[in-house]
Amino acid sequence: MLELTDPARITAGIVLLTVVGIESGGAFLVRVVTGKVAATGFQTSFFRAGHAHAGVLVILGLVCLLLAEATDLTGFWRWLGATGVLVAAIVMPAGFFLSAIGAGREVPNRAVVLLPVGATVLAAGVVTLGLGLLLA
């Protein structure tokens, strides 16, 4: 049986509860694609991308949280390897959603900067964890 540290167990529990929020995003997306919420093609695309990234990155983030338990990483590197993907699971979808808000928007607003920030945190997290696993 896998033994989780208390921080990993608590983080996993909190993250699992956020799935309800992702579900709410899915319900919103259904309203958009069925025409019950007005949205441009750009907005619909960004809302879909935000929802997809949230779901996929939360699953990957939970896996990374578990895998980090098998490393010798400590301090900041442990945190980054264990939770970097989970941070990206917040930042990247926020970039998609926030940069698309506003009636009739056809191009992203300045919140689009969150996308490369999230991608950087994602890459840093998976590289750190991958190296931590290989070096353990």
Whether this prediction's pTM lies above 0.85 is answered by: yes
Burial class (CB in 10 A: 0-12, 13-18, 19+), 16: exposed
- Report the pLDDT value the prediction gives residue 73, as an integer from 0 to 100: 97
Q: Mind listing the pLDDT tens digit for each residue in 40-50?
A: 999 999 999 99
> Which has the closest alpha carbon to 123: 77, 74, 85?
85
Angstrom distance (rounded) from CA 62 to CA 83: 8
Read off the pLDDT of each residue in 4-29 and give the average, rounded to a whole number. Answer: 94
DSSP state of 112: G
In the chain, where the domains are located: 6-131
